[in-house]
Structure 1
Amino acid sequence: MTATEFKNYDCKMYEINTPTEFEEFHHENYRPLRSRTWFIKQEIMSDIVEKINSFIQESLQLHQRSKGPIHLVSSESAAGSLKVGLPKPHTVIAIPDNLTYGPLGKLVERAEQKIREEWLFDHINDEQEEGNYASKFSNMLRQIDDIADSIPIYLWCGNNVAEQIGIRFMVYLLGEKKNAIYLITEDKIAISYTSHLHSEQIKKIFEQNKDVLPLSSNERSTYIEEWFKLVDSKEVLRIWNGREIIGVSENYYDSLIQATAEMLHNSQSEKEFLPVGEVIAEILNKEIIDPFFLEYRVRHLTYDGTFKIKGIPKSMHSYKIKLQ
């Protein structure tokens, strides 16, 4: 349950005045309150949802365990593809965040998550409601913590920076678990992103890789060491060169954005404002880059005077830009 779902949940309120009354409370013997309003801060709401989800997890642990193998993947869209394509039974767990950009941390403590969440909220226009990040991240950590030791774990990884960072983070989260961990990659096909695979490809890749040797203790240690190096890095943007993850300046794509806008201007009879979504779409036709990070850099280039702006930058589809 997310903070938004809890906020919108149709629940009834009851007033209890004494500890004895609380111990003997049964809702059928009480009349719910009417015409009352409570205002709860988003942070407090998130804490409430966190406690509710913890109780739910404890209850589920008593009654059920995951059936079939566990599949870990680096995005929610990729998780959707795996759920459709993999043979049942299975459980798919996704990282609810793109670790390509923004400050990193070990991200297992709320304080570390909050630093990252605040940076994302201040810079990235992904329209995610404040408070949802903490709820989704905590749910992911619970699911991983709840994996039984006897269940095999498969890590899916494409040839792209988000998934390369993701497997290092996931191996770190699995920590001291004794499970066999298998790495499934898409090196032998042209598609670089797990989310771009169709169900038949997923099924075929899994069949070809399900019996590979699990990661050795040395391989697991190497991935964890590489995760710690990423955590210690000061850069807030990371790229993959086909061999390693490299931290770069956050203005790394600025010249590409400007060149794309100039090219689109040259195709016009006279220079007019360009929809930001059109500029980003043109870039994505040639390179796979997170569109939300590109939109952040477009806004930065409007603030420093590179672009004129028309409209309100609520999202990449709500405003237009023109080179000065």
Structure 2
Amino acid sequence: MERSMKRKLERLKEDEMRTILLHQWTLFSYLEMGKISEKEWFDRIKEMNERTERECDDRLTPFQGEEGNGVEHVHIVFSESTKGSLQLALNQKESREEVIALSPMFSIGPIQDLDKMEGIEKRKEWLFYHLVIDDEEWMHMGEDSLKTIEDLRSIPTGVPVTIWAGNNAHEQTGIRFVMHLLKNKPNEIDVVQVTDVLDFPLHTGELSPDRFAVLLERSFRFPVSGQIKKSYRDEWHALSEENANLRVWVEGIQSKSEDYFDAALIQSLKRLQGESGDYIKAARLIGEVLGHSSQVVGDSFFEYRVRELVLQREFLIRGVPRGMRYYEVKGNTGQVI
């Protein structure tokens, strides 16, 4: 409930928030001075809250109401940071364009039936038992996921859609999920493969607003044919049925076992320890592997594998593994099988 309201209030501008706060202070002052009764004060606060919540709801649902009818273009990205950068670039244009972000890390965890509550709950369960994740984020994951899916499916007919992605399993799997969700939409859909266009970013989150502005001006959009849309949907069904919890990008999306990165973690720890054999901060080890990896799976997945290697007695641990900053690891040179 609190998070839902917080998410709504984030849609308000700073001057709007200040106006609401000033109004509340003024009403409270009137109450203290006896200019209004407690009932009148309560009724006015309640009316203001209801009006604010309606306004926030309208903004959270971009394609409903009079404002939504004027949307000229919809952009789809796969992280909140990417959404922020792209939105800043779009703000320089006079046209009305919306950005929708799908936040799940599609390269890790179950993805079967991800457009249904049962699939979302199965994914939530896997995340709960394997990754260190914010409790609030985890609790509202189902609500947030279904809301984003609803936004995608409510895109007005005739409004062109552009999907932005790099060459990584997260965003490429995301493209296929979006094509599955929009299978009944006749809208024109373009895909901007930023790695191919710029020849460097693995992930759209690496793009600054200025870089997005350049891409928007040059219009590197490639319309997706009906046949390619079907191919994307078929690939989504195949991937979701493989029941894998890790996907990597190696000349395409490939499903792998969860221990795929373990060898890299073990070798990186040996290199960091050198001759000393000292304990190494888990955060440093994970940062080292992330820095040398061409894959986009998130640091939480790497930390999960560090903890698994501790359980397997490949690593020794010092500290409490409540987060990668709180413990250290080193290789178990005296390991007994």
- 1:1-324 matches, within 5 Å, as 4-6=3-5, 28=39, 61-65=64-68, 67-86=71-90, 87-88=92-93, 89-129=96-136, 130-186=138-194, 187-189=196-198, 190-209=200-219, 212-242=221-251, 244-266=252-274, 270-289=276-295, 290-324=298-332
Q: What is the Cα deviation at residue 234 of structure 1?
A: 2.2
C-alpha contact 1:57 1:142 (8 A) present in aligned 2: no
Q: What is the Cα deviation at residue 60 of structure 1?
A: 7.1
> Number of aligned pairs?
283
C-alpha contact 1:240 1:246 (8 A) present in aligned 2: yes
C-alpha contact 2:73 2:98 (8 A) present in aligned 1: yes
Q: What is the Cα deviation at residue 31 of structure 1?
A: 8.1
Counterpart-to-counterpart distance in 1, 2:244 and 2:306: 19
C-alpha contact 2:112 2:243 (8 A) present in aligned 1: no
Deviations 1:111-169 (A, max 9, x none): 11100011111111133523121122122112112211121100001111111111111
Q: What is the Cα deviation at residue 30 of structure 1?
A: 11
Using the size of structure 1 for normalisation, the TM-score is 0.79
C-alpha contact 1:96 1:136 (8 A) present in aligned 2: no
SS at match of 1:64: helix
Which amino acid in structure 2 is aligned with residue 111 of structure 1? E
Distance 1:315-1:55 versus aligned 2 partners, 3 A rule = same
C-alpha contact 1:68 1:90 (8 A) present in aligned 2: yes
SS at match of 1:177: coil
Counterpart-to-counterpart distance in 1, 2:6 and 2:76: 29
RMSD after superposition: 2.7
Counterpart-to-counterpart distance in 2, 1:161 and 1:239: 5
Distance 1:31-1:202 versus aligned 2 partners, 3 A rule = closer
Structure 2 unaligned blocks of 5 or more: 9-37, 44-55, 333-337
Distance 1:54-1:90 versus aligned 2 partners, 3 A rule = closer
Q: Which one is further off, 55-64 or 215-224?
A: 55-64
Using the size of structure 2 for normalisation, the TM-score is 0.77
Q: What is the Cα deviation at residue 63 of structure 1?
A: 3.8
Structure 1 unaligned blocks of 5 or more: 10-26, 33-52
Which amino acid in structure 1 is aligned with residue 225 of structure 2? S
Q: What is the Cα deviation at residue 98 of structure 1?
A: 0.3
Distance 1:239-1:114 versus aligned 2 partners, 3 A rule = same
C-alpha contact 1:184 1:206 (8 A) present in aligned 2: no
Counterpart-to-counterpart distance in 1, 2:114 and 2:314: 35
Counterpart-to-counterpart distance in 1, 2:309 and 2:62: 50
Which amino acid in structure 2 is aligned with residue 68 of structure 1? E
C-alpha contact 1:3 1:135 (8 A) present in aligned 2: no
Which amino acid in structure 2 is aligned with residue 81 of structure 1? S
